[in-house]
Amino acid sequence: MTTRLYEHPIFLEHVTPPGHPERADRLRSLNIALEHPNFARLDRKQAPQASEDAVLLAHPEEHLLAVMRQIPEEEDRINQLEADTYASSKSLQAALTGVGAAMAAVDDVFSGAADNVFVAARPPGHHAEKTTAMGFCFFNNAAIAARHAQKAHGAERIAIVDWDVHHGNGTQDIFWDDPSVLFCSTHQMPLYPGTGALQETGTHNTIVNAPLSPNTGSDHFREAFKSRVLPALHDFRPDLIIISAGFDAHHRDPLAQINLVGEDFDWATGRLLEVADRSARNRVVSLLEGGYDLEGLAESAGLHILRMIKG
Ligand SMILES: [Zn+2]
């Protein structure tokens, strides 16, 4: 497998207030892990910045303008957009570079430049609804990547698999009535943002939620994957799999109570690569979402990326 990695120093310049869990040290910790010789085969590329127009693939212009209005000009200032979401002077550039990397990753798997791609970006995206920045997210990178695959590469069916411990309410909101995108999510329930019940299935039964009870672990996660996520993927036969790869279901994570270990992310990655091999010519684009324990994040994301390299 050729596995590409998109990174960019601008991702470290999106500044949140002291003590905020979504911080630049997350990427620093992952970058250190990726210096291991195991990752020598990674094809590392600097992420390109998307145009502002790219955001309009998944959000109305009013949302883009609302985010832009709240970006501070002063370098030392941080603006609060809502309860958990903050912007500094470089946040728009960082968010647009995350969008650009997700779109470039889609281009790469369709052109054959890479079999699969990991995007190590922040801020994350899966909580961003059509018109709402929330939960540390401005723009929904996974949704924009899916729309880009359809528009630029003629993809017909796209699956977005979200194993972040929080429900991907933004992605569900954007694709609620779109039969061309299957959205599958495992997440702790109850937990922020409160959505993601089994009965939330979308207009065309293309939303598949697999909520997990607090204090469960590998067995429940793998069972949910085997009984709900994998059968849905098997039936849907996607042309592309996009992973909303959050690593906050790791047992060390401070924001949730699911007890996964690093090997669970290796296992789940392997199962998705099998689906991609069957129906999507191996095309997998994985986008970093959450993961707030530095050690748990580095371990889990490292094993996920290693599985993508090995195939
Ligand atoms: Zn999360």
Q: Residue with structure tokens 């990174």?
A: 7
Q: Contact, 283 vs 240, CB < 8 A?
A: yes
Domain boundaries, the chain: 3-310
User: What is the reported pTM?
Assistant: 0.99
Q: Contact, 277 vs 310, CB < 8 A?
A: no
pLDDT value at position 272?
98
pLDDT value at position 114?
98
CA 304 / ligand 1 centre spacing (Å) = 16
Q: Contact, 269 vs 221, CB < 8 A?
A: no
Supply 298's token pair: 């580095």
Alpha helices in the chain (DSSP H): 25-33, 61-69, 91-111, 141-153, 169-175, 218-224, 230-236, 262-279, 294-310
Q: Compute the C-alpha angle 280/52/115, nearest 5°.
A: 20
DSSP code per residue over 259-297: BB-HHHHHHHHHHHHHHHHHHSTT-EEEEE----SHHHH
CA 257 / ligand 1 centre spacing (Å) = 12
pLDDT value at position 1?
83
Residue 153 bears catalytic tag: no
Q: Collect residues with CB below 5 Å from ion ligand 1.
A: 164, 166, 246, 248, 290
- Distance CA(24)–CA(19), nearest Å, equals 11
Q: Which of 127, 148, 166, 187 is catalytic?
A: 127
CA 177 / ligand 1 centre spacing (Å) = 24
- Distance CA(170)–CA(128), nearest Å, equals 5
Residue among 294, 303, 280, 295 at smallest CA distance from 112: 280
Residue 209, CA distances (Å) to 37, 66, 162 in order: 37, 30, 10
The CATH number of 3-310 is: 3.40.800.20
CA 135 / ligand 1 centre spacing (Å) = 8
Tens place of pLDDT per residue across the chain (311 aa): 899 999 999 999 999 999 999 999 999 999 999 999 999 999 999 999 999 999 999 999 999 999 999 999 999 999 999 999 999 999 999 999 999 999 999 999 999 999 999 999 999 999 999 999 999 999 999 999 999 999 999 999 999 999 999 999 999 999 999 999 999 999 999 999 999 999 999 999 999 999 999 999 999 999 999 999 999 999 999 999 999 999 999 999 999 999 999 999 999 999 999 999 999 999 999 999 999 999 999 999 999 999 999 99
